[in-house]
Each structure stands twice: as C-alpha cells, then as structure tokens.
Amino acid sequence: MQAGVRGFQCTPASFKLVTSMTIRTAILTLCLLLQAAFAQAQTDLRSSVDALGQGKFADVEAAITVLAKTGDPKAVPVLEALAAGDLYTRKSDARVFMTRAAGDDVILIDPITGVEDATAPKASVQKIRVNNTVRRAVRTALGGLTLLSPERQTRLAAAQSVLMAPSGEVLDLVETALATEKDADVRRVMEEARAASLLKSDRSTDEKKQAIETIRQRGDRDALGILSSALGSVDETLRPDVERAIAGIEERQALWNAGQNVWYGISLGSVLLLAAIGLAVTFGVMGIINMAHGEMVMLGAYTTFVVQDVIRTRYPDMFEWSLAIALPLAFLFTAFIGLVIERGVIRFLYGRPLETLLATWGLSLILQQAVRSLFGPTNREVGNPTWMSGAFELGGLTITWNRLWIVVFSLSVFLALLAVLKRSSFGLQMRAVTQNRRMASSMGIRTPYVDAATFALGSGIAGMAGVALSQIDNVSPNLGQSYIIDSFMVVVFGGVGNLWGTLVGAFSLGILNKFLEPYAGAVLGKIFVLVLIILFIQKRPRGLFALKGRAVDA
C-alpha cells in the first residue's frame, strides 16, 4: 500500500520535471517564432494597407480582400477608417495614413499602430475615394475580420452578422475562425454562420445537406429566413431537403407559439388569481361580494408608490428592496381599511348580501375619489427594481422577469393562504363558518370575529396583489375597476368556499383567453369568455367546485 503510494507520488514529480522542461523550451521557441512572425506580419500588414491607396476602385477592392485574408484584428480600424473616408495617401511615397486637422496642416497618424507620425501640409496628402462597391467589400471584410477578434462579444456579434447576411466569400474566413474557436456559444453560432454561408457557396451537395441540417436544428425565425432565401439559390436536387427542413422548423415554431400562449395564459391567470383570491375568501366565508375589493388592490398599488417615493427621496440605495418593504405595509394598510369597513358598515348588513354589494360599491366610489383627490387622476409611476426588469429566453419562449415573479408570487400567496386555512386554528374556524355558520356559532366560535378577521385578511391579500400589479399595470385611481369584473368571473366560475376552485378558475380563464386571442382578437376573445361563463353558470349554478351539503341552500 505504502509502496504503491510512494510510487504513485514519484511519477507525477518526474512527469512535472519533464513537462516543465518541455514547456520552457516550447515557450522559448514559440516566443522566438512569434517575434519573427510578428515582425513579418507587421510589414505584411503595412504593405497591404499601403496597397489600399493605389489604383482604381477594383484594385482597392482587391487590396481589401487581401487585408481581410490576413485575419489580423489590427486591420479592423484601418478598414473602418476607409469606409468612413478618413484614409489618405501621402503623395510623396504612396504610404497610407489617417489624419487629424491641425491648423493649415494635418497630423499624419499610422493607421495600424495609431501613433502620430508627422505633420504635413494638407496639399501633400490625397483622400482615398470610396464607392458603394468598396463600402460593401469593407463591410464583408469587417464581418470576417472581427470573427478573429480576441473579444468574445465581438466574435459573437461578428458571427451573428455573418449569419444574418451570409455570403460565399466569407466562408473560408469563418472556417478559419471556427478552427481556433474555443467558446461553445460562439462556436455554435459560427457553425450556423458557416452553414448559412456554405449554402451560398459552390461547395458539394453533401456538405450543403449537412449545412441544411445544422440550420434546421437552430429552428427559429432566422433559420426560417435563411432557408427560404436558400430555396431560391440551391440546385434542384437539394430543394426537397430545404423544403423538408422549412416544414420541420415551422412545425416546431407552431409548437413554441402554443407554448408561448400557454405561458401568457399562465401569466394572465396568475394576475387573475392574485386579484380574485381575496375576494374568494370573503365571498366564501361571508357570502357577500365585496365591490370595493378592486379598490383594495388599488390602495396596495398606491402604497408601493408611496414607499418608492420615500425611498427615492431619502434612501436611494434601498430601491431594490422597495417591493419587499411595500409588501407587508400594503398588507397591513389594506387589512386595516378592510377591518374599518367591516366594523363600520358590513356588519350591520349580514343576511342581506345584495345590499352589502351596494354599500361596498358606494365605498369603492369613495375610495376611488379619495385617491383621486390625494394623488391626482393621472397615472403614477412605479419603478421596477432591476431583478424585475428584462427578459430571458427559454428555448423558443421569451419570458419577462416581472411576469415570472408575479406567477411565483401569486402561487406562494395561494399556498400560504391554503396553509393558513388548513393548518391554523383561525383557518379551522373560518372553514367551520363557511360550511355552517349557525352550527359553528353553537360550537363556540365567535362568528363576528371570524368575519372581521376574514374580511381584513381578504383585503390584505388584495393589497399585496396591488403591490405585484403595480409592476405591470398603470397605477391610477381606476386600477381596481379594471380587475373587479374579471375577479368576479373567476370566483363565480371556480366556485365558492374552495380555494382550489379559484386557482383552477383563474388559470383556465387566463389560458382560454390567451388561446382565443390570436383567432378572435383580444376584445372578441374576452366577450367569448364572458358568454362562456354565463352559459357555464347555467350548467353549474354554484361554480366548478361547489360546496355540497344543506348549508348552501340557505
């Protein structure tokens, strides 16, 4: 065992010795070689650059191609200067310079190193003239040259630009770049760029078949564009392959589109869920529709606005945390308002649900007008923290962060509420009152307390929903109005007294709405959903998940 270990230790040490020697030698050799090569390249480049200043446009074009072939990133600024018309020839020795004005004279700048050379009279230099053909040649050359740039971003951008505008000429360059590329992402794009360029070149049919396959695997709208343009240029034998590839991509696109619609539907559903869940609680327990529910959402959104306002003026570094701060504040504030409403108005109206509906409608008008008087009738700006802004791609789906967070948030609110209902004693009491108020009361549950707490809880949840909705909607006094009818629909569709009904209701209405939109348009889709709900209620007058038992007949 020990010997084995020693022997094992021995080998790497000697190996290290050998390798270190080899590496040193290698580096030394490489350095020498590089130095020579560098000097060589420098002179080569200089002469190629000087060639730009000679002859007619066709010669300039040829010189550009030579420059591009060197693959040297140093040629990039020279070509850029040429396209911009900043390149001049010194008449005396036909050397090419960039210039900078200095009084009557111009300062000559070496285009490769960027070092200022000498001052010369303006008359001694002549501008290199360019036309559109030359400009195009420069563009192609630049696309190819930047493929070899040491910057990853530049290479990626170059590969993408080749992919967007493929041509047979850059093919060699792309292949050169591909040979040395290490970064996996850049490599992938380069391979696609190679495939796209290959289709435009005169390579063999087999290679082209492979290229079609590579592009088909990319499978997005760009790939579709490349293949459709290739459809015109490739020869007869390849055409079926291209057509098959196009059909394949289109099929996949349709699938992704459906996926995107599902995502939009989930996103809409989560918004509906957030808006409706508090309503479901109060409706389920007390059997009243709280018309001021939308205004609670609105108050939550305005709480966010106030919190952000304070943060902006006093503690600007805390902005990222504004939503986390606003969330509990909105909950407490709206829960308090809810408590006041319940104690002040609603408790006098138990047993008269339709009149509660009227009274809460009146309250909603008052709250709207109060907010309008305090904050003005116009939209207030609520900012998105950085973690809520932007989007990312998932396969063919584009998902914005704020929508994703809202989905996560609404589901966590749902789960938290479910936990409260199923695990706490307050939840137990609430469920008891929902199922049979009088029996619960005889069992010693103080139903008025449960009512008050339920109403406060429902309002508080609405307030939290307001914080989330402030991120995707306009914060105005009318915010609540736009959600109230939809929330009713969700609650009525899902059924009363069952949170799962609300969840299923919200998501199915959301997804249905988004699936109808592409065919019927947004408005007609919504009308259709409304009619569907009206018809559905005929079939199941108490919603999808109705409470069973005698209590509901009361």
Partner 1 sequence: MITAFLLRALDRNILIAIAALLIVAALVPVLNLLVPPTSPFHIPTYIVSLMGKYLTYAMLALALDLVWGFCGILSLGHAAFFALGGYAMGMYLARQIGARGTYGNALLPDFMVFLNWKELPWYWTGFDHFWFAALMVLAVPGLLAFVFGWFAFRSRVTGVYLSIITQAMTYALLLAFFRNEMGFGGNNGLTDFKDILGFNIQAGGTRNALFAATAVALAFSLLVASGIVRSKFGKVLVGVRDAESRTRFLGYRVENIKLFTFTVSAMMAGVAGALYVPQVGIINPGEFAPANSIEVVIWTAVGGRGTLIGPIIGAVLVNFGKSVFTAAFPEFWLFALGGLFVAVTLFLPKGIVGTWRQMRARRRETARMTAASPQAAE
- Nearest distance from C-beta of residue 531 to partner 1, angstroms: 6
- Per CB under 8 A, 427 contacts partner 1: no
- Per CB under 8 A, 272 contacts partner 1: no
The number of C-alpha atoms within 13 Å of 332 and in the hemisphere containing its C-beta is: 5
| Beta bridge mates, 393 | 398
- Per CB under 8 A, 554 contacts partner 1: no
Is 392 in a helix, a strand, or coil?
A: strand
Map the footprint of partner 1 across residues 317-346, applying CB under 8 A: 345
Indicate which single residue of 256, 361, 375, 401 sits in contact with partner 1 (rule: CB under 8 A): 361
- The 516-535 contact track toward partner 1, x by CB under 8 A, reads -------xx-xx--xx-xxx
- Per CB under 8 A, 357 contacts partner 1: yes
- H or E, element range at 89: strand 87-90
- Per CB under 8 A, 356 contacts partner 1: yes
- Nearest distance from C-beta of residue 348 to partner 1, angstroms: 6
- Nearest distance from C-beta of residue 361 to partner 1, angstroms: 5
- The 479-498 contact track toward partner 1, x by CB under 8 A, reads --x---x--xx--x------
Answer for the pair 277, 414: CB distance below 8 angstroms, yes or no: yes
- The shares of helix, strand and coil residues in the chain, as percent rounded to the nearest 5, are 75, 5, 20
Indicate which single residue of 359, 430, 433, 503 sits in contact with partner 1 (rule: CB under 8 A): 359
C-alpha radius of gyration, the chain, whole number: 36
- Nearest distance from C-beta of residue 533 to partner 1, angstroms: 6
Report how far residue 209's alpha carbon sits from residue 353's, in angstroms, rounded to the nearest whole number: 71
Q: Which is nearer to partner 1, 466 or 495 (CB)?
A: 495
Indicate which single residue of 368, 434, 476, 508 sits in contact with partner 1 (rule: CB under 8 A): 368
- Per CB under 8 A, 541 contacts partner 1: yes
Map the footprint of partner 1 across residues 93-152, applying CB under 8 A: none
Report how far residue 483's alpha carbon sits from residue 299's, in angstroms, rounded to the nearest whole number: 13
- Nearest distance from C-beta of residue 80 to partner 1, angstroms: 50
- Per CB under 8 A, 551 contacts partner 1: no
Q: Which is nearer to partner 1, 225 or 362 (CB)?
A: 362
Report how far residue 114's alpha carbon sits from residue 117's, in angstroms, rounded to the nearest whole number: 9
Q: Which is nearer to partner 1, 305 or 488 (CB)?
A: 488
Is 90 in a helix, a strand, or coil?
A: strand
Q: Which is nearer to partner 1, 23 or 530 (CB)?
A: 530
- Nearest distance from C-beta of residue 285 to partner 1, angstroms: 14
Is 393 in a helix, a strand, or coil?
A: strand
- Antiparallel, parallel or unpaired: β 87-90 and 96-102: antiparallel
- Per CB under 8 A, 307 contacts partner 1: no
Answer for the pair 112, 57: CB distance below 8 angstroms, yes or no: no
Contacts of 190 (CB under 8 A, 6+ apart): 147, 155, 159, 174, 177, 178, 181
- Per CB under 8 A, 537 contacts partner 1: yes
Report how far residue 190's alpha carbon sits from residue 159's, in angstroms, rounded to the nearest whole number: 5
Report how far residue 76's alpha carbon sits from residue 87's, in angstroms, rounded to the nearest whole number: 13
Residue count, binding to partner 1 (CB under 8 A) = 45
Burial class from Cβ neighbours inside 10 Å (0-12, 13-18, 19+) for residue 491 reads buried
- H or E, element range at 228: helix 221-233
Site for partner 1, rule CB under 8 A: 283, 287-289, 345, 348-349, 352-359, 361-366, 368-370, 372-373, 481, 485, 488-489, 492, 523-524, 526-527, 530-531, 533-535, 537-539, 541-542
